[in-house]
């Protein structure tokens, strides 16, 4: 291709872009690819997960503004563009039975109507590749599942000139991927490598819960080499200070061990309008040479 390649990553909340596929995005930015993060909600109902910031009255009262500033910092670190779709965080319901979702939240929107905002953004940015979550949301947060739903509608509708005519001239992305960075082969490889070196693995409980939840294994089709960008990924994630403890389990695996044992980020090819052979090592496989 002679024109600049473009990648759009559709995420539910600010911080999701830094915990899912961030090193991939940084790699592509370094190669001159135009990368846009579409953030569906403002994360208004997100809990303050960093114990050092819990109980901070200002943050609790201004969580939406704080998370927006965190997103600005992460965006700068990764070198990506970013757009807000403007939906309201649904929160993660807890309890048995689960409480109803809050009125007006993202997960309660009409899917076809909500997809219109993403169709408009796709037609404006004109990505060749779109990434998002699988039908389970990666994990079953209502906003992640809704993100999947609107992305799949928008991927198909953006190229249909009869759909959403008010959203601008049609543009058809060529490939759609599901983020699958939290996969069992990677987790087991890092866990075993830590134990072999006499280090305490942060993944022991994860692997026990994997069996407990009987999580279905996904098909990993695409392994993007991006180990040299893992430090940028972590820096972007730490920028979301309300959501991540810099001394937590996310950061317990030494960087050199990660690069040696598992230097890729993984994806599942969900839709492709170009010919490609699996497995891939590039989200733009089949596009670059067309």
> 283 or 218: whose pLDDT is higher?
283
The mean pLDDT of the chain is 94
Token pair in block for residue 2: 């002679």
Neighbour count for residue 37 (Cβ, 10 Å) = 26
Between CA 142 and CA 13 the distance in angstroms is: 11
Contact of 134 with 123, CB cutoff 8 Å: no
pTM (global) more than 0.75: yes
Residue 214 has pLDDT above 70, yes or no: no
Q: What is the pLDDT of residue 258?
A: 97
Average pLDDT of the segment spanning 258-279 = 98
Helix 22-30 to helix 63-78 angle (10° resolution) is 40
Cis, bond preceding 288 (omega within 30 deg of 0): no
Q: Which residue has the tokens 């280090």?
A: 199
Strand, coil or helix: what is 145?
A: helix
The token duo for 101 is 């979702």
Q: Quick one: pLDDT band at residue 9, thresholds 50, 70, 90?
A: very high
Residue 179 has a pLDDT of 97
Q: What is the largest CA-CA distance in the chain?
A: 60
Q: Model confidence at 84, in pLDDT bands (50, 70, 90)?
A: very high
Q: What local confidence, expressed as pLDDT, does residue 286 receive?
A: 96
Residue 1: pLDDT band with limits 50, 70, 90: low
**Out of 34-38, 161-165, 205-209, 239-243, which region has the weakest mean confidence (pLDDT)?**
205-209
Decide if pLDDT at 2 tops 70: no
Categorize the per-residue pLDDT at 139 as very low, low, confident or very high, splitting at 50, 70 and 90.
confident
Q: Token digits for 257?
A: 């061990």
pLDDT band for 250, please (50, 70, 90 cuts): confident
| Sheet (strand 175-179) strand order | 81-87, 34-41, 6-11, 129-132, 175-179, 264-272, 222-225
Checking if the pLDDT of 160 tops 90, the result is yes
Q: Report the C-alpha gap between 93 and 255 in whole angstroms.
A: 34
* Residue 96: predicted pLDDT: 80
pLDDT bucket at 191, cuts 50 / 70 / 90: very high
C-alpha closest to that of 236 among 95, 117, 74, 75: 74
Q: What percent of the chain has pLDDT over 70?
A: 98
Q: Distance between CA 38 and CA 169 in Å, rounded?
A: 19
Q: Which residues pair with 132 in a beta bridge?
A: 178
pLDDT band at 111 (very low <50, low <70, confident <90, very high): very high
């Amino acid at each position: 291709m002679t024109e600049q390649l473009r990648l759009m990553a559709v995420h539910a909340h600010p911080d999701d872009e830094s915990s899912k596929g961030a090193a991939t995005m940084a790699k592509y930015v370094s190669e001159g690819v135009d990368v846009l993060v579409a953030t569906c909600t403002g994360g208004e109902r997100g809990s303050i997960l960093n114990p050092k910031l819990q109980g901070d009255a200002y943050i609790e009262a201004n969580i939406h503004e704080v998370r927006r500033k965190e997103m600005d910092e992460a965006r700068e670190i990764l070198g990506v563009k970013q757009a807000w779709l403007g939906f309201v965080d649904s929160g993660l319901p807890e309890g048995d039975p689960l409480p109803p979702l809050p009125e007006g939240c993202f997960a309660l929107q009409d899917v076809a109507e909500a997809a219109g905002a993403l169709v408009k953004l796709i037609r404006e940015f004109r990505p060749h590749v779109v990434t998002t979550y699988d039908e389970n949301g990666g994990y079953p947060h209502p906003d992640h599942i809704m993100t999947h739903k609107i992305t799949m509608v928008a991927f198909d509708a953006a190229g249909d000139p009869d759909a959403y005519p008010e959203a601008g001239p049609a543009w058809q992305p060529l490939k759609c991927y599901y983020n699958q960075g939290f996969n069992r082969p990677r987790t087991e490889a890092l866990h075993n490598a830590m134990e072999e070196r006499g280090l305490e693995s942060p993944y022991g409980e994860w692997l026990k819960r994997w069996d407990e939840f009987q999580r279905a294994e996904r098909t990993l089709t695409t392994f993007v080499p991006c180990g040299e960008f893992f430090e940028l990924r972590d820096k972007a994630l730490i920028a979301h200070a309300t959501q991540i403890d810099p001394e937590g389990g996310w950061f317990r695996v030494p960087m050199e061990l990660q690069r040696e044992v598992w230097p890729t980020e993984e994806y599942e090819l969900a839709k492709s309008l170009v010919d490609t052979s699996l497995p891939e090592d590039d989200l733009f496989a089949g596009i670059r040479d067309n």
